[in-house]
Chains A and B, each alone.
Chain A
């Protein structure tokens, strides 16, 4: 019954590979996000989708491409992985009409590029 679930939890891959991270929420929220947390625990937003429409696209390399097939799913595909992409990636969701509940986060995907 996990509210926001991400897969995989861990991902170790070589430089230059392409990988995807999947996220699903069962909260009925209309907005989903991808955040990147670096080794210093600093969290930065990457993308946000509202009802499958991209509404936030921060300064992120073109190698990162989000896809939202429906409002309960938001996936992140990364091409040509680089060492600097190593981080923990968090998916989150929220309801625009219930902001006082904040965001609900997934447990994260730890990506290690070697």
Chain B
């Protein structure tokens, strides 16, 4: 979406950490989201963060939010081959606007 920007590709070695970055424009969003799309599948909600939080950790996933800079990031620790997918950042209230998606490729 034109309101949400992400880098398009990320290649990471198995076992390393992945960091996917996103910038957004709508500061009124109550929640910001990360979705994962595997080939041929729909989007799966990975995690979300409330807009008044700086950080949220959920097992291998860490979300960082810099509200001043409108910057959101997703860190995946100990990246596995099953983490290969497209990751979408999303924001919005009545409708979600998605970034173009970051294709993460995990190499052995």
Contacts and interface: CB of A to CB of B under 8 A. Distances in A.
Nearest to B86: A41
Which size class do B's interface residues fall under?
Answer: 20 to 34
B48 A100 contact: yes
B100 interface: yes
Chain B at the A interface: SS class: strand
Interface residues of A, number: 23
Interface string A36-60: 0000111111001000000110000
B30 interface: yes
B94 A43 contact: no
A43 B45 contact: no
A51 B35 CA distance: 25
B108 interface: no
B45 A102 contact: yes
A1 B101 CA distance: 28
Nearest to A104: B45
B48 A105 contact: no
A33 B95 contact: yes
- The 3 A-B pairs at the shortest CB distance, nearest first, are namely A105-B42, A43-B98, A102-B45
Interface of B: 1, 30-31, 33, 35, 37, 40-45, 48, 50, 86, 88, 90, 93-98, 100-101, 103
